[in-house]
Amino acid sequence: MYVCLCNGISDKKIRQAVRQYHPQSFQQLRKFIPVGNQCGKCVRAVRELMQEELTSMPEYQEIA
């Protein structure tokens, strides 16, 4: 599904960038993919996807 319509960025592209680059903030993610720099309607969805992907990665999960 497209998240950023202005730049044609899909949720798969965002998840891939998060897994590859491990950004710690939205600003860091923007260095790798052009999201949120046009109309800004995608910012909330991108942040949610980024957080969801980061928390699902094994190195970010708590060890029980």
Which residues on adjacent β-strands are paired with residue 9? 4
DSSP structure class, residue 32: T
> What is the dihedral angle through the alpha carbons of 36, 7, 34, 20, rounded to the nearest 10 degrees?
110
User: What pLDDT shows up at residue 6?
Assistant: 93
| pLDDT one-digit tens code per residue, 5-60 | 999 999 999 999 999 999 999 999 999 999 998 899 999 999 999 999 999 887 65
User: What pLDDT shows up at residue 60?
Assistant: 55
- 2-59: CATH topology is Arc Repressor Mutant, subunit A (1.10.10)
User: What pLDDT shows up at residue 61?
Assistant: 52
Instruction: Break the chain into its structural domains and give their ranges.
Output: 2-59
| pLDDT one-digit tens code per residue, 17-29 | 999 999 999 999 9
Which residues on adjacent β-strands are paired with residue 10? 2
